[in-house]
Structure formats: structure tokens, C-alpha cells
Amino acid sequence: MHLRKYKLLVTTLVVVIVVALTGCIGNKTEETTYKSGTYTTEAQGYGGIIKVETTFTDEKIQKIKIVENSETDGIGSTAIEKLSSEIVEFQSLGVDAVSGATITSTAIIEAVSKAVEQAGGNVQALKEAPVAKKEGEAVIKETDVVVIGGGGAGLAAAVSAADNGAKVILVEKTAALGGNTVRAGGPYNAVDPARQKNVEAADETSMQKVWHLANVEPKTERHAELLEELKDDLQAYENGSKDYLFDSLALHKLQTYDGGDYIGKLEFIEVLVDESLPTSKWMAENGVEWTDEITTVPGGLWPRAHLPVNAAGYDYIKASENRARELGVEILLNSQAAELLIENGTVVGIKGKSDGQDMEIRGKVVIIATGGFAANIEMRKEYVPALTEKLPTTNSPAIVGDGIKMAENAGANLIGMEYIQSLPLGNPKDGSLNAWIGGAGVEYYYQVNKEGKRFMAEDGRRDTMTAALLAQTDAMSYVISSTNNDVDINETGINIWGDNVDKLVQDGIVFRADTIEELAEQIGIDPQVLRETHDKFNNYVKAGKDNDFGRTIFGEQIDKAPFYASPRVPTVHHTMGGIEIDLETHALDANGKTIPGLLAAGEVTGGIHGANRLGGNALVDIHVFGKTAGEEAARIVKEKK
């Protein structure tokens, strides 16, 4: 036989054999068998160990049950529910991770993979098994109001619009509602005389700061009027018993205005403050349960922060979701708006994708409530070059400014984009706000650098505190707290972020000790230095005066064992800039004219907070203006009918 023909024949035979073997392997994969039974496995999740029970028949994965976890409600809990059902439905470990809950998703897949291995299954084959989702039809709908974004502002707008008679469809691009609100600690600022009557009076130094604020040079005529209002409020307080905490609407407004370097629009600040307490009552009517506690959120400057019963943002999301569904709001998850539909200069709907299919929803009003852009590294670098990828963020990975871009493409004006706030209280692992002890209020902790020394007033402005932390060794610190903090840790040992405190300690995320010296040794600080810092701070608490940094907000002395140390780093937190709106939340163009059919609310907007936002004001912003947007949308709908 000719050599060339011989080689060709051999090659052909080899190919045939390989294909045949591959076919056999493929058939074997399709007929994967298991040792029937239930196998218990575990993997490291975001909040701790996730323990999983996986039940097999001889032929398939029959059931997956998560028997133990410490994942965050509304984030990790969504991944647990979604992936457990999808792995069983598709008999595949190749399911997609849930956006914003990648660590939890990976842990579930890892734990089930271990069970598959124990049951004699082929893990690799299951990872390669196709996820054969049914091809859906294009989503073509018509409604009164379209809300883009399922965080706090979007849900508030949807509830408000539906409650005022409008038919509402809300689209959320991720697999779960919540946005950044579900990641928040939950503090909500409101001047509340009934609750604040039970709070101890501010010390003399704090009151001096208030008097100083009342005597600054006025920027505008309205500012001058507010300064006089504050002086009148102070005088009335001075003439009274003075045995309770002073606060007033004028003080909250002026602290917000001053705290934003007088760049925020005062008329918006006034609405935010005036409507904060009434809106909290509206939220209660819609399912939010408030405690009677009043605390001072870091960067909040004054004790007026309210907390929901679980002290976290998930309380707001769960209550709003339940109320929205009661009111008939249609909620589409995995549905991303990509552009606004515009006809004759009026916004008439959205286009995008829903579960991979084309989506077009027409409405009389569109409300953008997609949040800011702190998770978009390139976008934030465009406005603040120093905010590089080296800095993590508290934000959901989904908060990338897409709503801002959609509005800009529709002619909306953007303002304040260069004002981006960072926090000195990020989780070193990923920049998030969870996994520490002390989050219920600045009254409950102090902060030290790696040398064991305080380096700032912990009750100061967020931008000032973050700058101070960036100047420390490795830009790293420890929050020192103790069991005096009975607000932060509930009776079951869970902190306000939903973390199991024992697991945080067990996993080396938070440190705990019965003495300050032992705590210092655990975190690599000279015990004598931390003891000196600790004693000096407690003396300042007792005296109500901080001679080192001027802190004025204190709680009890931090002197009840056990003591906690929580590592913290700087993290990008809030973008103050965005779509310019008017007081009725209409989006404005560069000429200050409204864009018909387009409203916006929440962090997607700009101009309210100025150059720096007070801690505890964001949750007020999203609910006050989200509620306003819903009311205005319903009014427009009625007008057009």
C-alpha cells in the first residue's frame, strides 16, 4: 500500500476510535449513577460555614437542603434558594452564580460537589452538564408606571404609585430585590421628639458646636432664616429643663447643609428633613417595624438615627416587597433595562432583556431608581482618579451607573458627579459593611490604628474620617467595642448585619477577649499601648470631652468584658452625584426643563447632599423621594387618562 494512503487510513481509524470512545463517555455521563442516600457536606460561605444535605436516588440528585448558614438575608439567602432549586431542576453544577452573592453561590456548588463525589458521581461531568433553561418569549407589556430598579427607592416608588391607583411594573436586573439598601445597616435619621425625649442630654461641648453652627455666615437669605430658627430653638431649650436631648428640624437641615460644604440644594435638604418623620410613619404603615432606640450612625453627627427591629436594610426591602405585591405591582427579576423609549420628546417606556429575551415595556411614566455608580471602577475614576481598583466598595456589584447613563442619553443633566464618599469602616475582605461589632452607633466604639492608638474623632464627617484612616499604616484600623453594646448584638448572638458573632470570632474575622491586654495580643498590638489608649478613652467618656481629637458623642464606658476588635479599611460608599431633578422628582435637562415622562429618585440623582453625605440620610433620601416619585407618577397617569 502506498505510504501516504496508509497514513491516511491509520489517521481515519484513530479518529473513528476517538469519536467512538467519546460517544461512550458521553453516554456514560448521561447515565451517571449514585449511591442513593443523604450526604452532609459543608463549604465556607460569605458569613461562615454553609452546611448542606444532598439526597440522591440511584439516578439523580433528588433534593438539596441547606441545614446551616450565616449568609445575609436578601443577598446570600437568595443564592441559597435559587441555586439549590436549579441544581436539582437541571441536574447540573454548571448553574450561574447569583450576582452580588458570588461567594455564597460558589460555596453551595462546592458543598454539593463534595456530596456528589461521596455518592460516587462524576463532579466534572455535572459541572459540564448543560443548564437547559426553556427559551421564553419576548416580554412585551404595557402599564401606567415603569420603575427601573428594585432597591429601596424603586420599591418605595412602586408602593407609592400603586397605592395611589397606578398600575406598576418594576424591573430589576439581578435575581433579587434589594440593591444597596439590603446591604445597609439600617439607620434612618429623623427628628423625633417622642423618642428623643428619652435620650440623655448632649454634653456642653456638643452644644457649643450647635451654637457655633447657628452663628456661621449665612450663604443665602433662606440659610439666614434657618440660622435664626435654630437660635430660637436653642433658646427655648435653654429656658426649659434641659434633661433630654436637644434636636430640631433646623439643626438637622443645617448640619446636612454644612456637612455637604453648602453645595447641596437647600430646598431639597428641607424636604428631606421635613418629610423624614412622616415618611417613617408611612413606612410603618407599609410593614416596617421600628424600635424606640435612637443612635448616632458614623458620620451622622447627632443622635437621631432610628433602627428597624432587625437593625438592617433588609427590613425595608422585605416590608416594601410584601406591600408592593399586595398592591398588585408586577415585579420582573433578571430584567435589565438598556434604553429609554422616547417619542416626540417624551419618555414612553423601556427596552432591554428579561431572562435573556427581548423586553419592551411601555408606560405613561418611567421612574429611574437604579442607584449610583460606586461599583463601576472606570466610571468613578473618570470623576475622581484617586478611587482606583485598590479601594473596595460597600456597593452591590450591580450598582454601576447604568440608570445614570440611560438618563444622560435621553438628555438628562448630571450634577455633582465628582462628589463620591468613602467610609473608614469597610470589611477588609471585600469592602462591605458587615462582619463587625459596633455598627449600631458611634456611641458604642472607638477606633485604633495598627499601633494601638486613636487617630481621629469617630463622630466626625465621613470624608474627614476616611482621610485620617488613609494616613495610617496600611490604611487599616480596628474598631474596639464591648458587650456594653447591647443594641448591636441580640439575645441570639446575631449582630445588626445578620452575622453570627460566635462564627465571626471562630473564623478569625472578629477578635474577642476577656481583657484588653489579651485582645491586644490577638491583633498584634503592644498590650500596654492599647491599655493606655483604652483607659484614656474611657476617661474621656466619663468626662464627656475628648482632649485629643474633639469627639463629643459618647455612650457608656467601654468596660464590660468580653471586648471585641474588628478590622476595618477604607471603602467607596456613596456617589452624591447623578441625575438632576426638581422637587417633584422630574428629570431635568441641561436647560433646567423637565423631560416629559421621566422621573428619578434615590442615589441615582444628584444635588441633594452636596460634597459629603451625613450618615443616616441616605435611607431618608431614597424613601422620601421614592415616595414622592410614586405619588407624582400616579398624578401624571390620572392626568393623562
| HSE of 251, CA atoms in CB hemisphere, 13 A | 25
Cα diameter, the chain: 117
Q: Among 325, 189, 162, 334, which residue's Cα sits nearest to residue 269?
A: 189
Catalytic residue of the set 380, 454, 462, 551? 462
Cell of 619: 435611607
CA distance 233 to 258: 18
The 8-class DSSP code of residue 135 comes to P
Q: Among 621, 616, 585, which residue's Cα sits nearest to residue 600?
A: 585
- C-alpha distance from residue 292 to each of 31, 193, 199, 225 (Å): 60, 12, 10, 32
Q: Which residues contact 338 (CB under 8 A, 6 or more apart)?
A: 350, 351, 352, 353, 406
Q: What pairing do the DSSP bridges indicate for beta strands 305-308 and 188-189?
A: antiparallel
- C-beta neighbour count of 237 within 10 angstroms: 18
> Which helix (H) or strand (E) segment is 24 a member of?
helix 3-30
The 8-class DSSP code of residue 124 comes to H
Say which amino acid occupies 249: L
Cell of 58: 440511584
308: which strand partners?
290
DSSP per residue, 421-472: EEEEEE-TTTS-S-S-S-TT-GGG-EEEETTS-B-S-TTS-HHHHHHHHHTS
- At 330 the three-state DSSP class reads strand
CA distance 423 to 160: 31
Catalytic (active site) residue 462: yes
- C-beta neighbour count of 18 within 10 angstroms: 10
- Contact criterion met (CB below 8 Å) for 560 and 484: yes
> Which helix (H) or strand (E) segment is 164 a member of?
none
Classify 14 in phi/psi space as left (phi over 0), alpha (psi -120 to 50) or beta.
alpha
Q: Which residues contact 403 (CB under 8 A, 6 or more apart)?
A: 148, 149, 337, 368, 369, 370, 371, 579, 600, 604
Helix axes 618-640, 266-285, angle to 10 degrees: 80
CA distance 215 to 120: 76
The 8-class DSSP code of residue 69 comes to -
282-317 CB burial, b ≥16 within 10 A, e <16: bbeebbbebeebbbbbbbbbbbbbbbbebbbbbbbb
- Contact criterion met (CB below 8 Å) for 425 and 500: no
Alpha helices by DSSP H, listed for 37-180, are 76-90, 102-118, 123-128, 152-163
CA distance 157 to 488: 30
CA distance 328 to 568: 42
What residues are annotated to the active site? Answer: 462
